[in-house]
Structure 1
Amino acid sequence: MHKTLLITGGSRGIGAATVRLAARAGYAVCFSYRQDAAAAQQLVAEVTRESGRDSGREGAPILAFQADISREEEIRALFAAAEQRFGPLTALVNNAGILEHQTRVEDMDGDRLQRIFATNVIGTFLCCREAVRRLSTRHGGHGGAIVNLSSRAARLGAAGEYVDYAASKAAIDTLTLGLAREVATEGIRVNAVAPGLIDTDIHSSGGEPGRVERLRTGIPMQRGGTPEEVAKAILWLLSEDASYTTGTILDVAGGR
């Protein structure tokens, strides 16, 4: 029987790289996207085409589902769709996250903070809740794994740029540690990956597409990371190779 993985925010960047790698690893993958249906369907077609070519059989089981992770009812619908298509959940990757234009704390308004925390923190909490209800042996589940996406910003602070984003990711670190301890005897492992400066288009959302290049010399390895490098860390944490790893925040940051 195949393993079922749900990935939030899977249509681009780290999420899309994780979708590709998980499909190659044999997971049935359901991923959410918020707006860009064309990108989501293009990824579905790519994964289906690649897996069919490599195996000589029908393409990998994959589903793109539109959901805004800041909305509780859409989270419920996402989990229901994954189960209806592929059966019981095996694992969850909480990748969906947003940031807004670079600014100082003194210039942030309440609406911005509500948007950041609704998706990055509350949405992740609710996705974890839905996963635990399905995976926990306490609820009749068979166990599984959760990987949350944190950020090195949680410990660096992102001063003058994204202190709100950094604070939201610090909340994810605490959620990861607390939930891991809460469900450790219920067959669920909970870990996080904390990427550093990664070459994705999230930097364009913040108003500086060239941010990785600007900060590159401050990275001991002298380069930004790739989405694929982060995805490989996520897949390791999901795998049985990480069977004794829980409550861990794994930095993928080139030493920064």
Structure 2
Amino acid sequence: MDKVIVITGGGRGIGAATAVLAAQQGYRICINYQADEQAALAVLEQVRALGAQAIAVRADVSIEDEVISLFNRVDAELGRVTALVNNAGTVGHKSRLDEMSEFRILKVLKTNVLAPMLCAKQAVLRMSPRHGGQGGSIVNVSSAAARLGSPNEYIDYASSKGALDTFTLGLSKEVAGEGIRVNAVRPGYIFTDFHALSGDADRVSKLESAIPMGRGGRPDEVAEAIIWLLSDKASYSTGSIIDLAGGR
């Protein structure tokens, strides 16, 4: 079966690292992005240089019509999706709850909870034998914040990732009998530009001393776990959540 992967937020950080590893593993790749076209095209060039058939598609994955259009393009240009990585996410500046606006909270929940659900829906519509599919694999990118809570930082983000963990568990049971596996990874402090969204681009370096392993993680270390979970090597794993937080 041809391997076709959709990676949301694939133009940066963990998503970009996953795209590169997917290219090395023979996937046809859709790199989804919302705003930074230049970054997405750079990753696209990199994976094509590795021999992968790949496209980059702009879509706000928290809007169902755009998600439908995204997956329709994948159908037409790459084939039926067999793997989905729900990597797109956002976070607000460091704040207490009593300083957060409704707009901020809704944006975090739409991007981190609604979007993965909408994308997984389209994936299941293509992977499930109920709809003519032959199975597949979904990996959700959660966060160690889901179990730590992130008090005085961004409990809205932590709560959204907690919801994503619950969604992972529920969907994994719902589609387990249909040849679809659903797992998650839970990164901790990883060196990516994601932390700039919280207002502190150097956050990982500042907090490394609090990590039991004494260092921040690399995007490729998370990508390795994602690609493993997507692969047949993890064929008996569903509903699993792998912590990648250096012991935190």
> Which amino acid counterpart does residue 60 of structure 2 have in structure 1?
D
> Matched residues in 2 for 1:247 and 1:46: separation?
32
- Distance apart, 1:213 and its partner CA: 1.4
Instruction: Please tell me whether residue 188 in structure 1 is matched to residue 180 in structure 2.
Output: yes
- Aligned pairs (5 A) from 1:1-256: 2-49=2-49, 51=50, 59-256=51-248
> Matched residues in 2 for 1:102 and 1:223: separation?
22
Q: Which runs of 4+ in 1 moved over 3 A?
A: none
> Matched residues in 2 for 1:90 and 1:128: separation?
11
> Matched residues in 1 for 2:119 and 2:175: separation?
15
> Which amino acid counterpart does residue 42 of structure 2 have in structure 1?
Q
- Distance apart, 1:147 and its partner CA: 0.3
* Unaligned 5+ runs, structure 2: none
TM-score, normalised with respect to structure 1? 0.95
Aligned partners of 2:31 and 2:44 also within 8 Å: no
> Matched residues in 1 for 2:23 and 2:147: separation?
32
- Distance apart, 1:139 and its partner CA: 2.0
Percentage identity across paired residues of the two chains: 54
How many equivalent residue pairs?
Answer: 248
Aligned alpha-carbon RMSD (Å): 0.8
* Unaligned 5+ runs, structure 1: 52-58
